[in-house]
Amino acid sequence: MKYRVGLNPIRRVTQLPTIFMGLVVNVAGIGQAPMVTPEGLVNSASMAADTKRGAIAVPGGLATIFGAELAESAQAAAGYPLPTALGGVSITVGGIPAPLLYVSPNQVNFQVPSRIVSPTVPIVVKNRAGESRTILASVSQDAPGLFTQSGSGCGQGAILNVAADGSVQVNSPQSSASPGQYITIFGTGLGTPAFPPADGFPAGRDPFSWISYSELYLGPPTSTAFLRKSYLGLAPGMVGVAQFNVVLPEDAPEGCAIPIWIRGVTVDSQPVAISIRRGGGACLRSALARSAKLSWKRTVTTGLANESTAEEAEVFTASFQQGESSWLSPEGAKRIGVWTGLAAGRTVFEPPRCGSFIGANVSGGRLSIQSAAGASLPIEPLHSATGEYVYRATLPKGTVAPGSLTVEGAGGETVGPFRTSVSPPSPIEVLTDLRPGTAISSGKPLTISWRNGRPGDLVRVQIRTGATVYSGYTQDVPAEIGTVTLDTIEPLPGLVTLPLNASNGFSVVVSHIPGRPAAFRALGMTFDGTHEWEYEFQFLGLRLLGTTEPI
């Protein structure tokens, strides 16, 4: 039997429904007002907040709040429509009651009302004893997360292998998907669909609630191996859950923990694991591969709360990535001189991170970093809650500057000792007037100019528009050229406009980066590590006017 678009095989699999209800064992509460933990609002699939935007609300998506004394006991919704009060608990989002899937003393799962339209919304939990503090969440077009079999947001994805006759198996290391086979993967926060059901009601089949954007990718975050989809939309019979029906490519990498993730409009999902083996059956692990990335970055931002003052931040980050050699490979060459749309190969915001199950950032041992003007700074890896090792240090002002920047690794269990240096030049100077409040006409080409570009370096220009719905373009150009132009298009006869939406949330980000990062080697690394610097200039608070608006 041919695989049907919108097939909802999850109802035939007993292991997965609890993933979406978030069922956990809890101790009864003691009748106090609810307390919400800091950063307590997360995507119900990834179980993570956005790493840069913090609390995010996606209309129609599923969200989870963690805290204490939220409910007196654990209770799940018994049917549809989902109730807006359950076990004495209710949630309002921008004053609108939210449908509830599950409540417990320390966790509440709910659907974000689809009617919210403000850029930010207050979220409040109420129980019989009182109200929680207000969570202020940003409203976003999307913030995708993928469900996992553990319910933790990390590990093996909630993925079904779909046979040609329509029968399904839960994907696992013992039951791999075969290249060329259909799979179904589940998530939430992918955005507003066509023909959406009413809040609290499950999606139907006539018509399907399809979603026209987002793509599914295999491999590391730099991968371009997107999967051909036959359906993306809400999962029939479920509330707030989206499903991807896709075909694994014939040349899909094989292994026990291949990363699979969603590239959304504003942010990518966390990676989850899928097991792949030609012919199915138990997966075969490939040899481990390791790579490393060291980065020094200075960011100057204008147009924040105090528009007259530029804010500066300098940071050093490092990662030592480990994964199966079937998919982990060196970062590819940068594309030069080509405008790339955000939905076609960008990351505006960093996705949630996961740990040791795939592509873990492992420990490279203790690092010591030193600039030309400063003393040596030791950095110990931070072992995160998801099991990965993270290196990050806030630097004194003036650290990322011309001169030598050196990183020395003492070595650890997986990576041997190393020493590597880079020498940033003086940063470029942006010449285009991009002061906060500057109005730019969408009816004319937009040119960004700079000077002092060093041959061999690159300048990356990112043009973004929208406060809650993002679009934009990115291009890398040789630094010595000194200029780049985003041309207008003519979508309709006589209408000449930039390929962007007019918006008060218009911004330009200009980065000065090396054309080729420095390479270094260490015992235990399969590929050369990369060591690079970056000067980033963020120009916020601009206005992109429509073609008929006077400047």
Distance of alpha carbon 137 from alpha carbon 189, whole angstroms:
14
pLDDT, position 468: 43
The number of residues in the chain equals 551
* Residue 59 and residue 116 in contact, taking contact as beta carbons nearer than 8 Å: yes
C-alpha 398/C-alpha 374 separation (Å) is: 9
User: Is residue 452 within 8 Å of residue 497, measured between CB atoms?
Assistant: no
SS3 10: helix
∠ CA 475-478-480, nearest 5°, is: 135
Phi then psi dihedrals of residue 20, to 5 deg: -90, -20
Integer Cα distance of 204 and 239 in angstroms: 10
Q: Is the peptide bond before 9 cis (omega within 30 degrees of 0)?
A: no
The predicted structure's pLDDT at residue 215: 81
What is the model's pLDDT at position 168? 93
| Pair 235, 10: CB distance under 8 Å | yes
Q: Distance between CA 461 and CA 449 in Å, rounded?
A: 10
Domain boundaries, the chain: 17-139, 145-286, 289-545
**Residues 10 and 238: beta-carbon distance below 8 Å:** yes
Please give the Cα distance from 515 to 530 (Å, whole number).
12
Q: What's the rounded Cα separation, in Å, for the pair 356 and 361?
A: 7
Q: Which helix (H) or strand (E) holds 173?
A: none
Partners of residue 111 on adjacent β-strands: 62
pLDDT of residue 4: 34
Largest CA distance in the chain: 69
> Could you tell me the CATH superfamily of domain 17-139?
Immunoglobulins (2.60.40.10)
What is the DSSP track for 278-308?
TTSBS--PPPEEEEEEEEEEEEEEESSSSTT
In the three-class reduction of DSSP (H, G, I as helix; E, B as strand; rest coil), residue 9 is classed as: helix
218 torsion bin: left (phi>0), alpha (psi -120 to 50), beta (else): beta
Domains 17-139 and 145-286 share a fold: yes
pLDDT of residue 221: 64
CB neighbours of residue 408 within 10 Å:
16
Measure the CA–CA gap between 320 and 335, rounded to whole angstroms.
24
Contact 267, 61 (CB under 8 A): no
- Cα separation, 519 vs 541, whole angstroms: 37
E strands along 99-164, which residues? 100-103, 107-111, 120-127, 130-131, 135-139, 145-146, 159-162
Q: Residue 417 and residue 318: Cα distance in Å, rounded?
A: 15
Residue 278 tokens, joined: 């030609």
Phi-psi map region of 87: left, alpha, beta (phi>0 left; psi -120 to 50 alpha): left
Q: H-type helices in 161-288, by residue range?
A: none
CA angle 234/505/443 to nearest 5° reads 105
The whole-model pTM stands at 0.74
- What kind and span of H or E run contains 33? none
Structural contact between residues 104 and 73, judged by C-beta atoms closer than 8 angstroms? yes
The pLDDT score that the predictor gives to residue 24 is 36
CATH topology of domain 145-286: Immunoglobulin-like (2.60.40)
Tell me whether strands 168-170 and 90-93 are parallel, antiparallel or unpaired: unpaired
Determine the pLDDT at residue 20: 43
H-run or E-run covering 67: strand 62-68
Q: Work out the angle at residue 401's Cα, subtended by the Cα atoms of residues 314 and 417, and round it to the nearest 5 degrees.
A: 75
Q: What pLDDT tens digit does each residue of the chain (551 aa) get? A: 233 333 333 333 323 334 443 333 333 344 688 888 877 899 999 888 876 677 899 999 999 999 999 999 999 999 999 999 999 999 999 999 999 999 999 999 999 999 998 888 999 999 999 999 999 998 888 889 999 998 888 889 999 999 988 899 999 999 999 999 999 999 999 988 889 999 999 999 888 898 877 788 887 766 666 687 888 999 999 999 999 999 999 988 898 888 898 888 778 888 889 999 999 999 998 888 888 999 999 999 998 765 567 889 999 999 898 888 888 777 766 778 888 765 433 444 455 556 544 556 788 999 999 998 777 899 999 876 666 788 999 999 999 999 999 999 999 888 999 999 999 999 999 999 999 989 999 999 999 999 999 999 999 999 887 644 456 788 999 999 999 999 998 887 888 888 887 877 788 999 999 999 999 999 999 989 999 999 999 998 899 988 777 66
Q: How far apart are CA 17 and CA 48, in angstroms?
A: 20
Exposed, middle or buried, 494 (CB in 10 Å: 0-12/13-18/19+)? exposed
